[in-house]
Structure 1
Amino acid sequence: MNRRPWLSARLKLTISYAGLLLIAGAVLLAVVWVSLLRYVPDNDQGLLGISPNRYLLVRMFTPAAATALAFLLVFGILGGWLLAGRMLAPLTRIADAARLAASGSLAHRIRLGGPGDEFRELADVFDTMLERLESHVGEQQRFAANASHELRTPLAISQAILDVARNDPTYERGELIERLRTVNTRAIDLTEALLLLSHSDRRNFTREPVDLSLIAEEAAETLLPLAEQRRITLAVTGEAAHAAGSAALLLRMVTNLVQNAIVHNLPAGGTVTVHTEPRRYASVLRVENTGCPLPPELVPTLTEPFQRGTERVRTDEHAGVGLGLAIVHSIVGAHDGMLELAPRPAGGLVATVRLPAHR
């Protein structure tokens, strides 16, 4: 953006310092002049009606006052220029960091030292912004790479199946259609999950009162056949817990948590417990399941897109697309809430969602 050249901030501060010093010096000289006039005797009138004593005082005081004002002006300009440069040096460092960030370099940090003044606070805020921006850009790059890989996989499988069918005239048509249908369904599920993740990140939804206990019961009722198929005991307990948000997104959040708890469980005889309770300032939803012990270093990665973890990869029809907990994390963040994942000592996972209470 082109702007017409104007005085720099340093020059403006210099002029302000010099002007203020010059005015203060002039006022001080005026006070001295008035004081001298009060104590100089007014003897016989001389030429032009001026007392000889006061005329002599004027002849002596005026050159000295002019010299003092000239010295104050020069000193004010030089001192003001140096002082303004010293004061604006942190802004120069911040501006340099902003230029580097604008050019695409987000790894630079200001790390301004010195006392905790306004410039230090501004630099710290800017460093925090750069850190979060760098992290966000890195996540987006990894997400784009992983999404491209995940979307490429079903397309490559479809291409391979079609090539085999084209080169083998005896290939059974029914088997071809069924395999293509399975691959196409997985691609559609992945695309819908990506769209939902993008929708929840934008926060462009209408907020309305929602009872998490009713949402939990609806999700459990939907997934009860899957739990029975896997011989998993599914239970919903707790009280009404009211929050404000999108009922559809919160239902998807709870459904993903419960489905994740069912799928990643013991082969048989496992349990899944969904509990809701109101707190003073928050509404809490907790999903706890049995299962294999989870390494502590694996748990923080579970909410990253496509990061299923080596101990949690499934190859059956409910393997998902690796976005279940990522979608949960995004929906919770869009509702200004908090998601906590903790491994159970006996195996399994405890997922706790805290949303602002709606009164």
Structure 2
Amino acid sequence: MKKRIGLLYGGKSAEHEVSLSTAKAVTQAVDFNEFDVFPIFITLKGEWRVGPQLSEPAQSIEQLQFTTTSEQSENNITQFINAHMENPFDVVFPLLHGTNGEDGTVQGFLEVLNIPYVGNSVLGSAAGMDKVVMKQLFEMANLPQVPYESFIRSEWEREKTAWINKCEKALGYPMFVKPANLGSSVGISKATNAEELEKAVQFALQYDRKIVIEQGIKAREIELAVLGNDTPNVSVAGEIKPMTDFYDYDSKYKDGSTALIIPADLQANVYSDLVDMAKRAFKAIDGAGLVRADFFVTDNNEIFINEVNTMPGFTPVSMYPLLWQHTDLTYPQLVKELINLALERHTEKQQLQYNRD
């Protein structure tokens, strides 16, 4: 009997477009002989729209952006709930990137409805989204990181000059300024002087109230894919080589100005250390299903963990599925394995007791 899969995508996020591309790609990887696939689109305004069952892979992004009917309300999240109550989804696959989707909010909603879902839990998603919390967990796991500072909007507005001076003293230029709660390189800038630093912070504050400023280092950008639950597996390593000044949103998704080298040219002991650190990072956030672990590797093979991404992209140019393809796991096999892992984790949760008898 086919399993009913709900693909949840779009979202009220700066990464809405990335999510649409991911959803299209996943429909082209799902085995329609094994799964009944139902698209669930969230608009940029946060409106939920459940579409008709797909009979074949989506041929365009526009096909996945359906409008409401006269019977639907503008924000009919109840339509999704009612659809599940009438004929339950076996699993929901959240293909949401960034805030309002990758940060634990949707995961919490699915937990309340007791629906199995692909990927990380509320805790893992929230910790993986907030770069400051993530870094604090990595510190507890003794994972090396580049020096950083962080603050919230009100602190910056009250003591802007003091924060600039503190960052200059503690970090030095160049610095990379990031919103704490966003992915896909949205809102990130490089600063080489105080004027650029101030502009970079103001730019990042458009996307989040919390800011992270990291010391820039000369290093290779190496990424590994983690897949599993309690005993995760790790892929071959890949290297990011942006042709631009750094790996920003346009170079990642739009202009093709980034080379992805898979497998990365690494010494065996360096790769072994990366695998160990990727697993430790996965466990530090209590990971489930998948993460992409990103690292810096210097010329003398010193390793720093940069971050983990709890819902990495599945677009045709995305590193996560490419890493597994080079580790002898095809795109359709990867999608099926993630669904199986979601069902495995959900089954484990159902064994918990919620009364005192």
Higher RCO, Cα 8 Å, sep 6+: 2
Q: Which has the larger radius of gyration?
A: 1
The two structures have a TM-score, normalised by structure 1, of 0.25
Higher helix share: 1
